[in-house]
Structure 1
Amino acid sequence: MAINDNILIKIRDKKDSLTPVERMVAESILTNLEEIPHLSIKGLAKLSKTSDASVLRFCKTMGYNGYRSFIVSISASLGSMDEEQKDQYTDIQPGDDLSIIISNISHNNVRSIEDTLSIIDRNEVARAVKALRASNRIVFFGVGASGLACQDGEQKFSRINKMCHAYTDGHSQLTAATLLGKGDVAIFISNSGATIEILDSLEIAKRNGANIIAITKYNKSELAGKSDIVLSISTPELTIRSGAMGSRIAMLTIIDILFAGVASAEYQNVKKYLTKTHNILASKQKK
């Protein structure tokens, strides 16, 4: 399990990808948080209207060998959550005062980063940084808000002289994936992990031997299942009024982490590029 693991966030984010019976257990836990640490396996089975075996299967799905270790993790997650963290993400409401909108959006963005930090697997991040450092070139794939994160990645890695490019529409993604090969790293970004354009390009990139990194919500998505390295993000489950604000912030945070990881590890080599790019941009600013 990841450092700073928060099992409650994982349950929330994986809930929709669980089996119907596992989802019953998940929903019972999330709606009875204070009671759960005191329940036996039989107690949770009764509360969720399932069975002892179903509860145990749910624990194993979440990455635990038994019920006891699962409950210990639940208790630890509850203990690490302060009152602000227990609050739900706040959606945009019609007629909200601007001061409330400023506060709520800022709070949601902070929560998205904090929740992502609590579930991200440090070992996977290390593997991703290693792959990026050894790559011949880096190619980002994403559409919509995910495409914006791709463009940010292209801008950052270009600054340290890494050969990279971002593709944000279906046709160019298929072309780019076709030209990938061994030694190349393809980073696919999709909150749902089910974007058709992304999955089509992934199949081609994988077939060509590229190393596949996924940035996606923590679930059993097709994207996650077919990738070599999975960097999980945590995002709020809000209505269409909010768009993809939370997921975009989480994606950009992962891009920042990867860039900083590579730049730090290769600092003696890349500092000259950082200096050159900084100076040329600074020279274009108005005095």
Structure 2
Amino acid sequence: MAIHDNILIKIRERKESLTPVERRVADYVLANLEEIPHLSIKRLAQLSKTSDASVLRFCKTMGYGGYRSFIVSVSASLGSMDEEHRDPYTDIQPGDDLSVIIANISRNNCRSIEDTLSVLDRNEVARAVQALRESGRIVFFGIGASGLVCRDAEQKFSRINKMCHAYTDGHSQLTAATLLGKGDVAIFISNSGDTAEILDTLEIAKKSGARLIAITKYNRSELADKSDVVLSISTPEVTIRSGAMGSRIAMLTVIDILFAGVASAEYPHVKKYLTKTHDILSGKHRR
């Protein structure tokens, strides 16, 4: 499983939020990936009918310090690009044989996790884990399928005796955000980053002084822009398993990473809680 940045995934996820000029650069890069490492910035600008400054701006928008680091990332990703084309996301078609559905869903879920690893910023993960370790209270906010991920997170962090709660409807979210304070951590889970209820809650939480963490699609969004820490996910663009299926697997993976990061760092302290909760759930208390 590749863990380096995958430039194809980055461009695919961010393309719709690029400026028209940046999109011209993106379109040329995606259509001519193999030749990009051999092009100067001036040549890429000419071929994409833009300018040197536009190419540089595109590179920075995609998260690179300059053109050279962008080229290095393209070169590193070329090997996995072959794999991407051999084994693309596959939508489920009406009438598909059950064996085909089993294979495609499993493969797509694996790809969702792999692609998320390609856009997930390790430094942001470290900052999120540190914030959770220092928190007095953790609250999870999400609507619909994202709310189910919040419930999973609540269950996990409760096992290590963290004070936490999941809020999955608009009214309770607004109330909970109003009561946040410094030392609290609010985690907002939204695939699009534009869910109205989440953004309303975010505005209130931001005034409270709590640390704000977003788990959202690798894209420009109001949620990502206004959060302190952004944990990006990548999801497939297919119809039957669109939003809820693809994002849920990716989001659950990020929650697992955060939980394991906190539990591992605090293991001497939380071991007793893990043991107690394991014993009670496995029925050992009945002996």
Q: If the TM-score is normalised by the length of the shorter chain, which range does it land in?
A: over 0.9
Is residue 109–residue 249 contact of structure 1 (8 Å, CA) maintained in 2?
A: yes
Q: Name the aligned partner's letter for residue 157 of structure 1.
A: F
Describe the shift of the 1:129–1:96 C-alpha distance in structure 2 as closer, same or farther (beyond 3 A): same
Please, what is the CA RMSD of the aligned residues? 2.1
Q: Which residue of 1 aligns with 2:268?
A: 268
Q: Which residue of 1 aligns with 2:123?
A: 123
SS of residue matched to 1:172: helix
Q: Which residue of 1 aligns with 2:91?
A: 91
Which has the larger displacement, 23-32 or 114-123? 23-32
SS of residue matched to 1:244: helix
Q: Name the aligned partner's letter for residue 194 of structure 1.
A: D
Distance, in Å, in 2 between the alignment partners of 1:79 and 1:69 is 17
Q: Name the aligned partner's letter for residue 196 of structure 1.
A: A
How far residue 5 of structure 1 moved from its aligned partner, in angstroms, is: 1.9
Is residue 11–residue 26 contact of structure 1 (8 Å, CA) maintained in 2?
A: yes
Distance, in Å, in 2 between the alignment partners of 1:39 and 1:131 is 42
How far residue 40 of structure 1 moved from its aligned partner, in angstroms, is: 3.2
Matched, 1:247 2:247: yes
Q: Name the aligned partner's letter for residue 156 of structure 1.
A: K
How far residue 72 of structure 1 moved from its aligned partner, in angstroms, is: 2.2
How far residue 50 of structure 1 moved from its aligned partner, in angstroms, is: 2.5
Q: Which residue of 1 aligns with 2:58?
A: 58
Distance, in Å, in 2 between the alignment partners of 1:255 and 1:66 is 32
Pairs within 5 Å for 1:213-252: 213-240=213-240, 242-252=242-252
TM-score, structure 1 as length reference? 0.93
Q: Which residue of 2 aligns with 1:103?
A: 103
How far residue 66 of structure 1 moved from its aligned partner, in angstroms, is: 3.3
Distance, in Å, in 2 between the alignment partners of 1:47 and 1:237 is 28
Is residue 150–residue 167 contact of structure 1 (8 Å, CA) maintained in 2?
A: yes
- Structure 1: any 5+ residue segments left out of the alignment? none
Distance, in Å, in 2 between the alignment partners of 1:52 and 1:76 is 23
Describe the shift of the 1:259–1:66 C-alpha distance in structure 2 as closer, same or farther (beyond 3 A): closer
Distance, in Å, in 2 between the alignment partners of 1:112 and 1:155 is 23
SS of residue matched to 1:187: strand
Which has the larger displacement, 174-183 or 84-93? 84-93
Q: Name the aligned partner's letter for residue 6 of structure 1.
A: N
SS of residue matched to 1:50: coil
SS of residue matched to 1:235: coil
Q: Give the aligned length.
A: 285
**1:93-130 deviation digits (Å, cap 9, x = unpaired):** 12211111111111111111111112211111111111
The alignment-based identity, stated in percent, is: 83
**1:179-224 deviation digits (Å, cap 9, x = unpaired):** 1111110000011111110010011011011110110111121101
Distance, in Å, in 1 between the alignment partners of 2:145 and 2:83 is 30
- Structure 2: any 5+ residue segments left out of the alignment? none
Q: Which residue of 2 aligns with 1:137?
A: 137
Q: Name the aligned partner's letter for residue 95 of structure 1.
A: G
Which has the larger displacement, 211-220 or 277-286? 277-286
Matched, 1:10 2:10: yes
Distance, in Å, in 1 between the alignment partners of 2:37 and 2:175 is 52
SS of residue matched to 1:35: helix
Q: Which residue of 1 aligns with 2:26?
A: 26
How far residue 240 of structure 1 moved from its aligned partner, in angstroms, is: 5.0
Distance, in Å, in 2 between the alignment partners of 1:255 and 1:223 is 18
Distance, in Å, in 2 between the alignment partners of 1:16 and 1:86 is 24
Which has the larger displacement, 69-78 or 204-213? 69-78
Q: Which residue of 1 aligns with 2:188?
A: 188
SS of residue matched to 1:34: helix
Q: Which residue of 1 aligns with 2:205?
A: 205
Is residue 92–residue 242 contact of structure 1 (8 Å, CA) maintained in 2?
A: no
TM-score, structure 2 as length reference? 0.93
Is residue 91–residue 240 contact of structure 2 (8 Å, CA) maintained in 1?
A: no
SS of residue matched to 2:246: helix
Is residue 194–residue 222 contact of structure 2 (8 Å, CA) maintained in 1?
A: yes
